[in-house]
Amino acid sequence: MRNKIELLAPAGDMERLEMAVAYGADAVYLAGTDFGMRSFAGNFSRTELKQAVDLCRSHRVRVHVTCNTMPRNQEVARLPEWLEYLNEVGVDAIILADVGTLALARRHAPKVQCHISTQASIVNYQSAQAWHDLGASRVILARELSLEEIQEIRAKTPKELEIEVFAHGAMCVSYSGRCLLSNYMTGRDSNRGECAQPCRYQYALMEEKRPGEYFPVYEENGQTYIMNSKDMCMIDHVADLMEAGVDSLKLEGRAKSAYYAAIVTGAYRHAIDAAAAGEPLDPVWRDEVEHISHRHYSTGFFYGQPGQYTENSRYVRDWQIVAKVQSCDGEGNALLTLNNKFRVGDSLELVGPNVRPQALWVEGLWDGDGLPLEEVRHPQMTFRMKLPCQVPPLSLLRRKADLSPQ
């Protein structure tokens, strides 16, 4: 029996937080409306943050709040009051990358642990030790490290210093997100949470005396997305991360959907539990990471260079959520909320918190008054249908994205 590691899931807003908690997260990371590296996620107002902490407390889930931008002078001036609020509402940890922010956090949020963000690009044991000496309880290592390098960092740092690594999600062509390309091209600063992802663009060469004449910038086979990184997926190698001494396994995706938060959290929950028990992962849960929006997968830098995917930068989106379960009785009679329209006779899949994915045919639909419907089509409408078994709230119905209602 291996020691379990923490499953740390993304929560871009309250809906995504609820999904992460329901599908098995040990901890969540989220942001307020300032100082986080995902300005375009929904994020949390002060009232919502207090509600988030209360919800997580009731489920014994820890809350980590990101303050990992590189703040300018005018932003630093606002930090003490924000840190005091985080201390007051009882968050468990602050994720930061700036040494000045660390000093302020220790002074204004003494009850809260300090975790050093991947933005700090920690790639050696001396750097990890230095942050620990300054008061950090955890370091989130740079994505560019191999498994052997992580093992050495673990061996040469204090046992009480926790190590966190990203195990799933988008990767950046620059060093752990330290990029100026977005700022230069669009005025949106990637180091302050506003990256426009110009690394995903298709580029061409133009000679200054021939305006309007574009010459493709080719990789091999005529492919031109030369900076497009693959996504990371370590679901098949969770045991290796455990044996390397990693304390927390982090899932990228605060700007992604509630469906993504649910499915990726549930998949890695089963992967961690199986690895801790010394058992192989059931293929049905491995297959779940293919059901979410993603770019082509790699194992990151853990086993060597991941390579780029230069053919295009599109996401693979083969599945879409159509409805979310609000309640369900012992006979499978469910009340649901609609996301995308479908009708009687359609083929769907049902999945939920600790519910194995299973196919079903829609045999009947009813409105809130019990009147039969041939189709449900209005987003957020509530309706009723019979499911093959009892499932918990926040279970999901989905279908192949290329299938449309008849």
Domains along the sequence of the chain with CATH: 6-174+229-298 (3.20.20.70), 175-222 (no CATH), 319-400 (2.40.30.10)
Q: Flag the least confident range among 19-28, 67-76, 224-233.
A: 224-233
User: What's the chain's average pLDDT?
Assistant: 89
The pLDDT value recorded for residue 323 is 97
Average pLDDT over residues 15-23: 97
Q: Give me the pLDDT at residue 202, please.
A: 73
pLDDT > 90? residue 326: yes
Residue 4: pLDDT band (50, 70, 90) is confident
At 62 the pLDDT is 98
pLDDT at 111: 98
Per-residue pLDDT at 167: 97
Is the Cβ–Cβ distance between 143 and 117 less than 8 Å? no
Q: Residue 323 and residue 319: Cα distance in Å, rounded?
A: 13
Residue of 99 and 192 predicted with greater confidence: 99
Task: Give the DSSP H or E segment for 56.
Answer: helix 46-58
User: pLDDT at residue 197 above 80?
Assistant: no
Instruction: Output the pLDDT for position 68.
Output: 87
Q: What are the CA-CA distances from residue 161 to residues 8, 39, 118, 164 (Å)?
A: 17, 29, 15, 10
> What's the pLDDT at 269?
98
pLDDT of residue 228: 74
Q: Give percent of the chain with pLDDT exceeding 70.
A: 88
Pairwise pLDDT comparison (225 vs 275), residue with the higher score? 275
The reported pLDDT for the residue numbered 405 is 40
* Residue of higher predicted confidence among 250 and 306: 250
Residue 42 three-state SS: coil
Q: Rounded mean pLDDT of 281-297? A: 92
Is-contact 62 91, C-beta < 8 A?
no
The tens digit of pLDDT for each residue in 82-138 reads 999 999 999 999 999 999 999 999 999 999 999 999 989 999 999 999 999 999 999
CA–CA dist 386, 284 (Å, integer): 24
pLDDT at 318 over 60: yes
Higher pLDDT, 360 or 208: 360
What is the sign, positive or negative, of the torsion defined by CA atoms of 242, 244, 249, 252?
negative
The residue type found at 279 is: E
Cα torsion through 159, 28, 42, 227, rounded to 10: 50
Q: How confident is the model at residue 403 (pLDDT cuts 50, 70, 90)?
A: very low
CA–CA distance, 353 with 94 (Å, rounded to integer): 28
Q: What is the pTM of this model?
A: 0.87
Give me the pLDDT at residue 404, please. Answer: 44
